[in-house]
Structure 1
Amino acid sequence: MFGKLFTATVLLGISWVLCAQQSGDSLEKVIDSLSTTQTQIVYSDDFLKANSIIVDRPIRSIRALKQFLYNLDYELTEVKDHVYLIRPVENSQQLMQSPIMAIGNVIDTETGYQIVGAKIHFNTGTDVEVVNNKSGYYLTIDDRSKLKVTITAPGYNPQHDEIDFQSQAIVSRNFELQKSPEALENLYVTTSHFDFKSVNQANQSILTRDELTATPHIGNDPARAVNKLPGITSNGITARSHVRGGKQNESQVVLNGLALRNPYHFKDFFGVFSSINLSYVDELSIYAGVFPAKYGSYISSVMEIQSSEPSDDLFVDLSLGILSSHITLGESFNTESQYLVSYRSGGDLLRTELFNIEAGDPSFDDLFIHLQQEFDDGTVIKGNLLHAKDTIKLNLVNEDETARAKYIDNNYWMSIEKPINENLNLKGLVFFQSNNTNRNGDLFDDELQGSIFESRKTNTSGFSAGINYSATKSLAFSLGMMLKSETTDIKYTSDFSGSDFLTEILNPNQINRSRNHRFKNSGIRKSLYGNVRYKFNNSFYGDFGLRLDHQDWNNETQISPRMNLSFFYDDTLTFRLGLGRHFQDQHIDGVLLEDEELMYFEPESADIAIFEVQKELNNHYNLRTEFYYKKYNDVQPYYENLFIDLHLHPELFSDRIRVEPESAFSKGVDVTVSGYYDQFNWSASYSFSEVKDVIGGDEFLRGWDQQNAVKLNLEWFWRKWQFNSLMQYHTGWPRTLINDSEGELIIGNRNGSRNKDFLNLDLRLSYDGMIKGHKAKYWLQLNNALNRKNQCCSEYSYEENDEGDFVLINEQKDWLPLIPSIGFDLSF
């Protein structure tokens, strides 16, 4: 605790000192403001770091800029009509003695946008390369001749051209590049795939890390930020989600190629945050349909996350917030070596006088380290560490519960990518993971008493390997395997005594329910997968995959065929069809500890069909429609509380029931319309869905079914201000009622009624500034800004009134109230 307070004090002190300094626009912004269609100002990042120089005076003219630069030992020279060059003073005199140079820009042929980072190669006795930066490019030579150049940029066809200096010494020349056709192995074919970094072939919108951060959500958490997507729902308390009707444990999280086990803070206490800090996330993709064959052991979705790659300069991202704070730093020593470190801490401020909370002592920490080395032959080796730790001490006197817990998760992994040639690529990964849980608690109600203790240690180690081979321009193969060793050691004790009126109705013969388990096991998990991608013609592509999984502990083998087809009717219209079978088995520590006898069940399977249509309506509007159907078989039993599960230890309460479906199904349609402008973006989605368990031949709604759902996301930019809002509406979740019929208590059909409709509005306002040349962001966020009381569940009691009659009392519980948060982010 004292170490965290010291760290927070130091970080806060740094930010205060920096905030106290005089701030202004960067030189880069000044140059941009003076550059117009008639005036071009160029310079090289090699000698002028314009984004790190703060201008301490108004500069509204070329003359004022020239004077400011002169004080910094730079010279601004007009080398051609309305074309200005910034150079150090010692170099500018030499330049003007023989001003043979070319100035211009590299732009996209289709869009007309500048291609920052494009390279211009030429040879004047030695190979020379210049880079097109935000101000364009310039190059100099010694004699007046024709210069042959080659212009390249990632994702574009190279262009060979020449610059003629014979007729004039200073040439202004722009180059246009055409985008290269999408490589077969990189083409987006999978249904229900949401890429949060780049535009794909189906005109999916761009959503960068900054935009994910701007999406109103709690805790700088990528798992929460994706709730803006249709088909993904959560109760707001937990970072876990239900994806298209699936249970919360049906979603996989993959970080830099490693599948993480339950990567959430406060695991048994609603899983409030994920253990991944959004500040180091570069690319985030969601697969919510028939996902590629390389992913297995989960049914509903895969969240694939790639960490950022630092630039050449050291960067530091510092954030101070009420709920959590973090610091992220990274650097690329050269083009081959880089590192990234991120530390986040939260929960401590809840124990200060800032909040009137006397419930207890929750805190969490996570640490991520990424190291990367690239070699001359293209081989890339990456090392990663993800550490997460939680400490919980809670004393909910009003709820008659106490809890103490400690969680420590460690993930270590190293990967290697080796290109053999332009058509063949090899990948390998070795890993070790440990998950340690220690929790205990008590229930001390007047009628019910109970205690719980759990100690769980699970270790996983193994390796995976894969090969990607492009046989022709129309045919590509991928093959892979994984071998994983899993061990677990579990001690679990729960004691339950006493009874209330629910006990007499639900479990009249189980007044005392106790469990005492000591469970140890070890085994090997083996996986094989293969995928064939085939280009039938320029418009029609297909992925055909097969996956095999086997676990020693249940001696079961699962065969999972998958197919995704994409038809690109034209540049604006795409059709996709996905068909496949996903399996989900129990991990070696996935036994149901509430059962009297611990066992492994048949792996659960789901047959999935997805049909998707994407249409670019015009330059500003996109339409996406998806129809889906999931048929579950061999559904594994699960536990839930019939009336309320907002407990620290829900398994100790008398409304706890075991749900044993024979099968289940989920079906629905998601429609999303989005609009994109320079300063205003929006998206609106509507979902119609149904998810049910089949028990004894009868259909029952699952507790998270929401027949109608609407999500509206708005983004507005004005100068240095940014405003974001996310409105979510859905039909109230199902609930089970108790009725008092002339003194007789009758429990209605399970999930036979509904809560009132859910409506939530989250708002975020931020301001971007500069502090001594460094980017600063001040933000204010309101979750549930309307402070709406969205019904969650019912807490029933049966009490005697003043007249001596027993009456049924229904106390309605609500989801999260208004949660304000404020923070400060600094990047340098």
Structure 2
Amino acid sequence: MKIYTSIIVLFAAVAALAQEPAAETVGDSAQVAGIVFNGVVQDSSFAPGEKLNVEILESGEALQTTVGTPFSVVLPEDTLWNVCVTNSDTAGAEKEKCYELVYTGSERSFSQALGEAFAEPDSTHAAAGDSAGAIPGDSSGVILSGAQAESKDLDPNSAAPADTAQPNDVNVDDLLAAGDNTKVTELKKVVVQLRKRPKRKPGESVVTAKSIKRMPGLAEADVIKSVQALPGVVASSDFSSKIYVRGGAADQNLFLFDNAVVYSPVHFFGLFSTFLVEGIDDVQFYKSGFPAQYGNRLSSVLKMEGRAGGQDTVNEWFSKSSIKVSTFAAQLHTEGHQGPARWVFAGRTTYIGYMLDLMNAVGLLDLDLDYEFTDLQGTFMYNVTDDTRLKFSFYIGKDRLSFDPLYMDWGNVAIPINLTHRINGNWDYNVTLAYSEFYQTMKISDLMSIEMFLYTFSAKQWLNYRGIANHTLTFGYELEYDYERYQEKMATVSVADIQKPLHHVGFLQDAWKITPDYLLQYGMRFNYHEASEHFGVEPRASLTVNLDDSKTLEFYGGYYLQYLNALVYTDQETLNDFYYPATKTTSGRQIKPASSWLFATEFSQRGILDDYDATVGLYYKTQNNLNTFVTQLDTSEDSKSSKLVLADQFGTAEAYSFGYELSLRKEKGWWFGGINWSQSISVMKTNDGTKPYYPSWHQPYALKMDLGLNWRGPEESMSVHPTQKDMYLRSSVVLKYSAGMPISEYKGYYLSEHIGHQEYSDEVVVIPGSRNAARQTDYFRVDVKAIDVGREGKWNFSWTIINLTDHENMFFTFYDTRKNPPEKTSISQFPFLPIMLSYEYYF
């Protein structure tokens, strides 16, 4: 395989011993204490003289350097290190590359190591079968031996460039200032890998595409379900993929696909989230302290980037394609790479209605449902120059549901265009032009219909500046135009409402590395919303303190505004949200944006007993000016219905929430997984004089556990296939135990006899209890991916069992007044589903 001549990175293949080591040789490898690694970064994607940060992930040790300047860093006692090079410490960083160094050298004198490290290439040094070639393989790499480099294709999925090092470009005298008697150790083989393991930013959680695919699901890898597994994130039921974060409502979460907003990324029945894993990189999720460049939401930001397709070192129109067939859906994807262009396209459709008919026939379910959806997703990336990159993406999703007498259809469209341009080593410019669309129709026979169409056009540009030592400044401007049409018909009454708000946003942020152990990120967000005539300022700050190499303490505080909110008609969960902007009522009353103060702190410790990472978090959040739907109109009696706007029927509510979260994870080894526990309280109070109540997403406690097992495979596993080393066999299990969600339970009923116009009749009157004063029974569910077998980049088969214990989790309870006497009835969530199958083939 051809290795392109552009220099990706140069790490000098020499490590000088800081002291006289005691080397213990096992086979062909040795473990050496106190190794000093000397290197220099010469990467064409970084500008000459650009400021860089170098970090050893295992120890947390970090230093600052510039492109082309030699540096030295101490490696801990190990034979494998992960070195990350980035041009920023902050959320404004656009470039970060991580490399895995595998030491297998032996101790020798300085003159011997120097001579061999820069000797002429010898093809015998980097044989793939050498013991040093045992590489954890989930991305492409380059094996170096002295001055010679030989490519090794480890994973065609990798989107990371990997090229040869040029040791002759290095001044050895600058790299090694050591005496003739100093003993050194050569890193005889170095595996240079670009791994999708970015440095975590303040307040951010990263969910990898790899972990999403590993989780048990309804035969489909699910982006949103993977986020629901995090502490502090509530999933209200099996039938929804909505998320509720730290006491906030579902509409308070900002979903971004390549910086374009996606309003309601859900499909029916909780079976699928909208985004296709084959087309995205890792998912960035902020549930605390998200930066000032993100706004118009109160609770969280879930950011997905479209993946660059194709292999780095090969120009192919179809580098990789796949077809996937599961119990409920079929999916197709393809990707390629030609010169400066790379792309990936994916699509999915469902045949869930036919499968439900089959399950009904065999007695597994009793559900008559006519439902279908489609998803299309793609990314095209073009490197105009070494300094300029253009990226075009799209997502299109459509759903249709018929469940007599209910009919619904809805859909999402997101089309972002992103341009990134590096001006020089200190400046880079970014711009996003995006179009988003969300529509839905809901009809109940001929009695009622609701339609909503929401179109968003946005332009956002921002600059990152790194010219001040230890500072990264980010400042930008965003303009958003929304067109919303809402129409409600009930019997002979029809109300139509059109809103066209314009939203101006400016933001400033600075990430100040006060010392190597203190990072302060602070900023302001300025809003002017024309429809509500509201000017708002949002201050935000976070402080990260590295107590030592393994312990970190973080503090967050901020004020958040939301000008586009969902309408809440009932405490029962709805499939989608109906959005409406802050505006003015017919009588001139101003609808203020929803607002929130958030304060949180988090302590984390890495490397407990070498393999475990622990996190403890606390938070307190207020919410104000939340929109509620009331029946009393805010207008005069002589106003005509044609002049009314939906805001005339708005009331307001206040809320607060607080809680704590505990998490313990193990990411390495043949078994991996984690456990997290959270307890919280959420309380809401409307301004109509009623007493406070728990919102429908209030979850007092939750225990979530996941476990993955690598029985066989090229990664860390119990065994390796004797002939097919890329063959894997895995299993995984997910457990959730939590408090039941709040419900307004009916206390009972009585028969009321009244006189009508023509006749006497008996009517059942159901007596409601206090609002959300009762709870569903506790929730318990175990999902098992019993078999996950295949060959890397070739094929995969999986078998998943949903609700292994067949636990009856309550969804809703009511009195069936059609029966005499009326019968109290409960509807359960997912039953035992043992036939979740999936087969995927790559070609």
Give the TM-score, by structure 1 length: 0.69
TM-superposition CA deviations, 1:755-792 (whole Å, max 9, x none) = 2211111111233334xx96211111122222211112
Match of 2:112 in 1: none
After TM superposition, list the pairs within 5 Å mapping 1:186-335 onto structure 2. Answer: 188-191=200-203, 193-196=204-207, 208-218=208-218, 219-234=220-235, 235-266=237-268, 273-310=272-309, 311=311, 312=314, 314-334=319-339
The one-letter amino acid paired with 2:346 is S
Q: State the identity as a percent.
A: 16
Deviations 1:633-677 (A, max 9, x none): 12221589xxxxxxxxxxxxxxxxx99563111110000111244
Quick one: which amino acid aligns to residue 467 of structure 1? L
Residues in 1 aligned to 2:354 and 2:776: alpha-carbon distance in whole angstroms:
30
Determine the C-alpha separation between the residues in 2 that align with 1:232 and 1:279. Answer: 24
Whole-angstrom CA distance in 1 between matches of 2:442 and 2:745: 32
Partner of 2:579: 590
The change in CA–CA distance for 1:253 and 1:699 in structure 2 (over 3 A counts) is same
Identify the match of residue 453 of structure 1 among 449, 454, 464: 449
Structure 1 residue 412 displacement after superposition: 2.0
Q: Distance in 2 between matches of 1:455 and 1:299?
A: 26
Task: Give the alignment partner of residue 141 of structure 2, picking from 81, 98, 117.
Answer: 117
SS in structure 1 at match of 2:354: helix
Partner SS state of residue 375, structure 1: strand
Out of 476, 481, 485, the position equivalent to 1:480 is 476
In 2, Cα distance between the equivalents of 1:239 and 1:689?
21
Q: Aligned residue for 1:385?
A: 394
Aligned equivalent of 1:699, options 683, 692, 703: 692
2:346 match: 342
- Write the distance in 1 (CA, Å) between the matches of 2:599 and 2:743: 29
Partner of residue 756, structure 2: none
User: What SS is found at the alignment partner of 1:225?
Assistant: helix
Q: 1:329 to 1:176 in 2, by over 3 A?
A: closer
Question: Which of 772, 794, 810 is the aligned partner of 2:824?
Answer: 810
Partner SS, residue 693 of structure 2: strand
Shift of 1:493: 0.8
Amino acid at match of 2:840: D
| Counterparts of 2:442 and 2:294, CA distance in 1 | 32
State the secondary structure of the residue aligned to 1:279. helix
Most deviating of 209-218 and 322-331: 209-218
Which runs of structure 2 are paired with 1:356-375 in the superposition (5 Å)? Answer: 356=360, 359-375=368-384
The match for 1:14 is: none
Contact 1:591–1:600 (Cα < 8 Å) also in 2: no
Q: Distance in 2 between matches of 1:232 and 1:798?
A: 36
Tell me, yes or no, if the aligned pair for 1:525 and 1:550 is still in contact at 8 Å.
yes
Unpaired runs of 5+ in structure 1? 1-35, 40-97, 141-146, 163-170, 197-207, 396-401, 443-449, 496-513, 641-657, 802-806
For the pair 1:748 / 2:769, whether they are aligned, the reply is: yes
Q: Which moved more, 1:378-387 or 1:405-414?
A: 405-414
Tell me: CA distance 1:393–1:418, structure 2 relative to 1, closer, same or farther (3 Å).
same
Deviation at 1:458, TM superposition (A): 2.8
Q: Map residues 628-707 of structure 1 onto 2, 5 A cutoff.
A: 628-637=619-628, 662-695=653-686, 696=689, 698-707=691-700
Q: What is aligned with 1:723? A: 731
For residues 158 and 320 of structure 1, do their structure 2 counterparts lie closer, same or farther at Cα, with a shift above 3 Å needed? farther
**Cα distance in structure 2, aligned partners of 1:282 and 1:702:** 34
Counterpart for residue 165 of structure 1? none
Match of 2:409 in 1: 406
Q: How many residues are paired up?
A: 636
Question: Does 2:826 match 1:826?
Answer: no
Question: Hey, what's the Cα distance between the residues in 1 that align with 2:173 and 2:400?
Answer: 55
Residue identity in the other structure for 1:724: S
Change (3 A) 1:416 1:754: same
2:512 to 534, 548, 566: 534
Q: How far did 1:822 drift?
A: 0.5
Task: Please report how far the alpha carbon of residue 223 of structure 1 lies from its aligned counterpart in structure 2 after TM superposition.
Answer: 0.9
CA distance in 1, matches of 2:481, 2:123: 63
| Compared CA separation, residues 130 and 554, structure 1 to 2 (3 A) | same
Q: 1:271 to 1:680 in 2, by over 3 A?
A: closer
One-letter code aligned to 2:216: P
Structure 1 counterpart of 2:419, from 386, 405, 416: 416
Separation in 2 of the partners of 1:762 and 1:319? 21
Partner residue of 1:605 out of 591, 595, 607 = 595
- Separation in 1 of the partners of 2:332 and 2:191? 39
Equivalent in 758, 780, 784 of residue 759 of structure 1: 780
Shift of residue 794, structure 1, vs aligned partner: 1.2
The whole-number CA distance in structure 2 between the counterparts of 1:571 and 1:565 is 17
Q: Within 5 Å, which residues of 2 pair with 1:476-625?
A: 476-495=472-491, 516-586=494-564, 590-591=579-580, 601-616=591-606, 617-625=608-616
**What SS does the aligned partner of 2:225 have?**
helix
CA contact (8 A) 2:297 2:560 kept: yes
Residues 1:220 and 1:349: Cα distance change in structure 2 (over 3 Å):
farther
Question: How far 1:247 sits from its partner (Å)?
Answer: 0.9
SS of structure 2 residue aligned to 1:635: strand
2:418 is aligned with 1:440: no
Q: Deviations over 1:107-128 (max 9, x none)?
A: 9x9x9989963586999xxxx9
State the TM-score, normalizing by the size of structure 2: 0.68
CA shift in 2, pair 1:346/1:407, >3 Å:
same
What are the superposed Cα offsets for residues 597-654 of structure 1, whole Å, 9 maximum, x if unpaired? 89973111110001100012231111100001101112221589xxxxxxxxxxxxxx
Amino acid at match of 1:816: F
Tell me the secondary structure at the aligned position of residue 213 of structure 1. helix
Instruction: Note the C-alpha offset of 1:481.
Output: 1.2
Residues 143 and 190 in structure 2, CA contact (< 8 A), matched pair in contact too:
no
- Indicate if the aligned counterparts of 2:801 and 2:832 stay in contact, CA closer than 8 A: yes
- The C-alpha deviation readout for 1:463-520, integer Å capped at 9, x for no partner, is 110100112341110011111222123332134xxxxxxxxxxxxxxxxxx8521122
Matched residue, 1:777: 796
Looking at structure 1, the residues matched to 136 and 710 of structure 2 have their Cα atoms a distance apart, in angstroms, of 20
Describe the superposition over 1:9-62 as per-residue Cα deviations: whole angstroms up to 9, x where unpaired: xxxxxxxxxxxxxxxxxxxxxxxxxxx9559xxxxxxxxxxxxxxxxxxxxxxx
RMSD: 4.2
- Tell me how far apart the structure 1 counterparts of residues 585 and 385 of structure 2 sit (CA, whole Å): 59
Q: Does 1:466 align with 2:488?
A: no
Between the aligned partners of 1:121 and 1:188, the Cα distance in structure 2 is: 32
What SS class does the counterpart of residue 700 from structure 1 fall into? Answer: coil
Q: Aligned-pair distance for 1:800?
A: 7.8
| Deviation for aligned residue 1:409 | 3.2
CA distance in 1 between partners of 2:175 and 2:335 (Å): 36
The AA in structure 1 aligned to 2:301 is V
